[in-house]
Structure formats: C-alpha cells, structure tokens
Structure 1
Amino acid sequence: MNSKIGIMDIGSNSIRLVIYEMTETGAYRIVQECKEAARLSEKVGANGRMEREAIRSIAPLLRQFMAVCHMHGVVRMRAAATAAIRNATNSDEIVQWIAEETNLTLEILSGEQEGYAGFLGVVNTMNVSDGIIIDIGGGSTEITLFRDRKRLHTVSFPFGAVNMNWRFGREVKNGEWSPQQIEEMESFVRSSLQNHDWILSNPDLPFIGLGGTLRTLAKINQKRQDYSLPVTHHYEMTIEDVDYFYGSLPHLPYEKRKKTAGLSKDRADIIVPGLIILKTIFEAAQGSAYLVSGAGLRDGLFHELVNAEQPVVANPLITSIRNILSFAVPVSEAHVKRVNEYAVRLYDTLASGTSAAMDKRLLLTAATLYKTGAALNYYHFRQNSVFWILHAGIGGLSHRETVLAALIADYHPKNRTPRLLRTHADILEPSDEERVHRLGSLLQLAIGMDRSESGMITSINPTTGDDAMHLRLESKSEPILEQRELESVAKDFQKAWNLTLSWSILPSSNF
C-alpha cells in the first residue's frame, strides 16, 4: 500500500509544504505542493529576537498546511526551519511557541545540514559529477563543493536575498540601485569568502543554483529568448545571460521591474540582492556556467527521511524512470525491458565511439517511456508520450537530452519528427538531426521485434557486413505481428543507417 510523506520547509522568505506519495518499492512522486511568502527574516528585531506576534502571524498557515496533510493521509512528517529561525537569538523559544500554537514539532537545521540536504536534492536528480552548489535563501546562502558526486565542503553564510535587501537596499530609491550600493554589497560578499579557500581554489566548475533567485532568472531568460522547453530543472545559463541581467534588473524602477515576464511580483524587490550574491560568488570562484536545479532542500529532507542509511541514489536517470513507471502507467515493464535490450544490442552492432554512453541513455529513456502516453489516450499515445517526456522533469537528463529522448520515442520521419526538430532547434545541435534519425529508426525496429509485447521472439542475433545487417531471430511460434512491423519500419531504418536490412526467423531452441 502506498504511503504519504509530508515535508514542510519554514524558510526565511517563504513557507512550503510538499507531499510525496511513495510505493512499497520506494518509488515516489509529488502529489501536492503549497507555498506562501512569509518574509520571516524581516520579522527579526534589532536585538536578534523574533517575537511571539510574528509566530502568531504564520500559525494559521501552518495549521492549514497540517490540515492539508491530514486530508492527504500523511503518515510521516518532517518540518524544518532554516536561517530566519536558526539565527534568531531565541530560536528554542520559537520552537516552543510554534508547538503551542500549532502542535507542530519543528526541527531547526544547522547551516551544514541545510547545505547537505540541498546537495542530496541535486545529485539525486542531475547527471553532474562535479560542481559548486549555491542555495540563496531569504536569510542565508549555502555553498557546497562536490566532486565525483561526493560532498567535500559546505559553508553557510548568514546573508540571503531578504536580509541583504533590508541591509543594503533600504536607501534604494524607486527600486533603482546605484553603482555605489551595488559595490558596497559586492564588497561585503567578497570579504565573507576570504576565510574559505576551497571556494576560491576550485575554478571552472558549474554553479548549480537552488532557491528562488536562479530559478527566477531562468524563467525570465526563457521568456526573453522564447525558449522552446519551459522547464527550469537542468536549464543552463551562460555567463553572458547573467551579465545581461546584472546590467539591467538593478537599474529598473521597481514598478517596471514587477512587469518583467517571468518575475513574480513578490520577488521583484529581492531579485536584485539575490542576483548580486550569485554573480559575486560565481566570479570569485571562477565558475564555468550556471545550472538550475528544480530539486533542493525539500527533496533532500525527503531522501534523508526515507533513505537514512543511503540517501544518495545510484543513478538519477534510472530512479526517475522507475518513479514514472510505478504510478498507473499502462506499460508492461517486461516489454520495455526487452525493447531496451534489443535496442542496445542493435546499437552495439552498428555503432561505437565517444557518444555511445549518451546514446544509450537516450535509448534507455525513449525505450522505457515511449508508451507512457497511453495513460491519457491509447490512440494518441506517441504524441502524449512526447509531452510526458518533455515536461516530466526527468532526472539525469539535460534539456538537450530530454528533447532528443522525446524525438527518438516518437520517431515519425515524414511529419512529426521534422516539425519537432524545427521547434527545438534552439536547444539541439546540428549533428542531432542525424542522431534522431538513426536512434529513432533503431528504436522502432526494437519495438517491432516485440510488437505483441509477449516476448514471442526469444533471441536476436544481429550481424553486419557489406553495407547490410541481418537479424537472426528465434521465436516461440510464428511471430505474425512482429514480421508485419519489421516490414513496416525497415525502410526508415535502412535509410537512416545507409544499409540493407534482412532477417530470418527460426524456432526457438527453448521451446
């Protein structure tokens, strides 16, 4: 029986609730998420205390979040507070007040714990071995260095987008930051880094951003460039992209900045200090590019709760695919496993080279998910599967790989494939068109060899020579559906690979 798990994050800028559904085998998905801006870091007085009235102001929201958990049947709950409450001088008292007002048991995360949870969110959903994670919250900024998917260092700085806006932006007129105000904040951030040599001595690593600042910049950039895949997870921004925002957003009047496409109104003021923190640390560390992670603190808290002994998953892509297939998707796992095995066997016979690992990831994704769209409508499952693959936020795939996997899964060279290649030309590389035709036609051949989804063909033995490939197939009995499908897809396969295809079918030695 599936269970529900609630994760509540009481942050310095916002309070969020995420509810996960988890199967007995460990697959999971998000079934509800609620968010409300609270700006708790603005409720800390000059003496460092947060008064009870501030807690009373958020108590109704916390009680409603708990009611949402009750309605969903949540059986395990983890509520965690970050910088605003952590750094308050009366943090223990705040925990007691929240318990009295809401019956909620609150855990205060240390900066180290917060950074580690963010690290888990990243490495469990992205195919990145080395990098620097930056989590710019409302009241703190966590920096984590990892190599070979192992965390090496974490530091938490007691400044974030909200309290830095309060400290450096109070004198800003009409929302327009002056060069002097920007420089004062940059200088403060740079000075904070001086005692952390590991930040300054690991250049040329991608900066992976958590939290609202980089996600918001990604949304603005996607709108600005009319980007063809409106997904922020694993979205990449160049140094030039962020430099553009650095030269424009701080100098816009507040009312005009609020109208920026992709920028929510409740972040229009704090986007500037968040941007200054981001760019200053990126330049000091000599980062190579900006990557956005849609998974972070709450995801890490979830993994710590349900996989305490081994919270780092072995393979983000396989985990993500398993999660998709585990929830009401009318797909035979035995069938898609056979299709992937056939596809890899064909690929190993035909191709080799430096792109083999990427090609096999694409084949795994497309072979396993090509029929997920049948959950919506069987007769249009291929088109539905494309949408599913493009928008599911599949862990372990870049945006380019995601688009390629969707194109390969729905290979239709006369119509849909050319159209989708044009639609996503801003993401793909020139060589990708040939890759789509080759891998797409190869996948259709692999699907054809199990058209009945019954394992009728028990063995395949592909051989090549003299610009031809021959398939020696063994079958339980006459594979009528499979033969018909092979005849249907052979022409596209031959054209894509520039060879002649033939096959022979023998009785299986196992029957």
Structure 2
Amino acid sequence: MENFVIIDIGSNSVRMAIYCIDPDGSYHEIKRVKNDTRLSEGIGQNNILQITAMNRTISALRSFKSEYSKYKNVVVRAIATAAVRQAQNQKDFLKNVYKQLHIKVRVLTGKEEAYYDYLGISDRLAVKDYLLMDVGGASVEIIHVRNQKCIHCVSVPIGAVKISEQFHLIDHITAANLFEAESYIAEVYSRIPWIKKPLHYPIVLIGGAARAIARINRRYQHLSHVDHIQNFQLTRKQVNVTVETFLNRNLAERQKINGLENDRADVIIGGSLCLTVMMNFIDSKRVIFSNGGVREGLINEYIENNPHFRK
C-alpha cells in the first residue's frame, strides 16, 4: 500500500490530494486540502509573480508538507501549471520552494496539462465525443475528444483571473468591458486551427469556474449533494441565465450567491466568459461537468507505469 500525494500549484489555488493505492492498483482519496493563494494575482502583462502571492503559496505548501509527513510510505508529486509556467521569475519561485521546503516542482507544459486533464476524466464519462475545457486562473486547456480518444489538445493563456483583471470584470461591469473581453477570447479561440472540428459537440467542463456554476445550479434546482457534480448537465440557455445573474450583480452582491465561494466571486465572470464564448463558437448546446482533472490523470499514469501494482 502506498500513499500517493499530489500537490497542484494552480493560478487561483493550491491543492493537495492524498490517495491510498492498494496492491491491485485501485485507489481512493483519503484527504483533500485547498488553499486559495491566488498566485496569479497582479501578474500583469509582463507575467511577473508578485512577492506576496509567492509567499502565500509557499506558506500553503509548508502546511501541506506538515500534513503529508504524518503518513507512511509516501510518494510525492508536485506540479505547477499556468501561473508558474508563464512567469518570467519562474526559476526564482521554484528555487525558493525547494530551498525552504525541499519540494521539487514539475512545471507542466500547456499540452501536458491538457493531456493529464483528458487522462483524469476519460474513464468517468458516458459520452464519447466532446470538447473538454479546463478553465483555470491563467490558462484554459482545450481538448478535442472523438470516440474517447484525444485527437487535439492545446493550452491558451487566458483564464478566470487573467480575463477578469485585464478587462476590469471584478466589480461593476460595463458593456464596453464585457464586449472587449468576449471579442478578445473569441479572437484567441479563432487562432486554434482545429477548433471548428468539434462543431456542435457537448462541452465537458472542469476547473474552479465549472464547480461554481454546477453548484449554483444544483442549489437552484434543489438537488441534494450540491458538490456531486460528476455528469451533471446544463443547457446553453441555463448557462447563459447563470452568467447573466453574475453580470447583473456587483462584487458584494455576487458574494452572496448561494453556491459561489466568496473568494471566487471576483473572477467568476472572466471564467464564465471563457465557457460561453466557446459554446457560441462551436454552437454547443450543453455542458457536462466532471470532477476529474490533472490530479486524477497523474495518478492514473503513475499506476499504469508501475508494474508492482497488479491489476
């Protein structure tokens, strides 16, 4: 039996998941911790990680280490995604993490992140043809899946935090800023050479914005277990109504929406637009939510590549 620890340093939050892997290769999650460190806050057009954000993140990692150190037979994998990947001072940040905590962090390329997203959700869905989107804080991973196979994948440098900050979508929203944001996102998508191939496909959505939109609608529909979002579906109209709710409220009013975390209310519009623009772009009629992603992809790969797990 192994305890497999995954630390995921994202743009908006840092997460740790601890999985117990049995000798037959089956596994179950025994602990999950999240800290909203907002590493990409203030990163700006020059992609410079800010000292305060880096210190918040290192502090969270320190608390994670004190937690997983309590377990025996531990294997640790630490990864970083868009905020660190894009940062000009990436090396300084990684050096500080290793110097202070002796945690070696692997920075995923955009394509690696997209592919791990695919690995993490591909065995959880009944649908075979879909466009997978992972809306993060500083990037969006987009994967074209046909007959359950990854056909194309790409990462684009937009995301909930980046779009919200760049186009001033945090508090009061003007029509001009909304139009500029939607136009910019559409222009980024238009540069993906294969993006029209999954025309009319359903979108499978993962990431923080996905969880928020799903939770809000499950509460609205009076469904039990609001966090059980796997395979939950919404029509394009339902998504648009939800986003309209965000747009009609300022930050303080958004923070009161049932199901939306307070610390996500300032970036939910940027994240939502990444979805709605794509739905219009490929004329998708529905969204399917999944709770899988990069972390599940990493553990699936680890088990597959280790012969001592007897399946």
Tell me whether the two structures share a fold, i.e. TM-score over 0.5.
Answer: yes
1:214 matches 2:210: yes
Deviation at 1:46, TM superposition (A): 5.5
Q: Retained in 1: the 8 A contact 2:41–2:53?
A: no
CA spacing shift, 1:221–1:83, aligned 2, 3 Å: same
Report the Cα distance in structure 1 between the residues aligned to 2:45 and 2:301, rounded to whole angstroms: 35
**Aligned counterpart for 2:305 among listed residues 301, 308, 311:** 308
Q: In structure 2, the residue corresponding to 1:119 is in which secondary structure? A: helix
2:265 corresponds in structure 1 to 268
1:379 corresponds in structure 2 to none
Matches within 5 A, 1:222-237: 222-228=218-224, 230=226, 231-237=228-234
TM-score relative to the length of structure 1? 0.58
Q: Which runs of 5+ in 2 are unaligned?
A: none
- Whose helix fraction is larger, Structure 1's or Structure 2's? 1
Deviation at 1:127, TM superposition (A): 2.0
Q: In structure 2, the residue corresponding to 1:248 is in which secondary structure? A: helix
CA spacing shift, 1:101–1:51, aligned 2, 3 Å: farther
1:33 corresponds in structure 2 to 32
1:256 matches 2:253: yes
Q: Retained in 2: the 8 A contact 1:6–1:74?
A: no
2:173 corresponds in structure 1 to 177
CA spacing shift, 1:258–1:56, aligned 2, 3 Å: closer
2:282 corresponds in structure 1 to 285
Q: Retained in 1: the 8 A contact 2:37–2:60?
A: no
Larger Rg: 1
Q: Which runs of 5+ in 1 are unaligned?
A: 311-321, 323-511
Q: Retained in 2: the 8 A contact 1:200–1:286?
A: no
1:297 corresponds in structure 2 to 294
Report the Cα distance in structure 1 between the residues aligned to 2:53 and 2:44, rounded to whole angstroms: 10
Report the Cα distance in structure 1 between the residues aligned to 2:178 and 2:72, rounded to whole angstroms: 48
Deviation at 1:90, TM superposition (A): 2.4
Paired letter, 2:83? A
Q: In structure 2, the residue corresponding to 1:233 is in which secondary structure? A: coil
Report the Cα distance in structure 2 between the residues aligned to 1:300 and 1:30, rounded to whole angstroms: 14
Identity over aligned pairs, percent: 29
Paired letter, 2:178? I
Q: Note the alpha carbon deviations across 1:2-32, whole angstroms, 9 max, x for none.
A: 2110000000000000000010001100000
> What is the CA RMSD across the aligned residues, in angstroms?
1.9
Q: Retained in 2: the 8 A contact 1:20–1:28?
A: yes
Paired letter, 1:300? G
Q: Retained in 2: the 8 A contact 1:133–1:144?
A: yes
Deviation at 1:253, TM superposition (A): 2.0
Paired letter, 2:127? V
Deviation at 1:188, TM superposition (A): 0.1
Report the Cα distance in structure 1 between the residues aligned to 2:217 and 2:52, rounded to whole angstroms: 39
Report the Cα distance in structure 2 between the residues aligned to 1:281 and 1:45, rounded to whole angstroms: 24
Q: Note the alpha carbon deviations across 1:166-188, whole angstroms, 9 max, x for none.
A: 10126x6xx23122211110000
2:137 corresponds in structure 1 to 138
1:92 corresponds in structure 2 to 91
Task: Kindly indicate whether structure 1 or structure 2 has the higher relative contact order, using CA contacts under 8 Å at least 6 residues apart.
Answer: 2
Q: In structure 2, the residue corresponding to 1:162 is in which secondary structure? A: helix
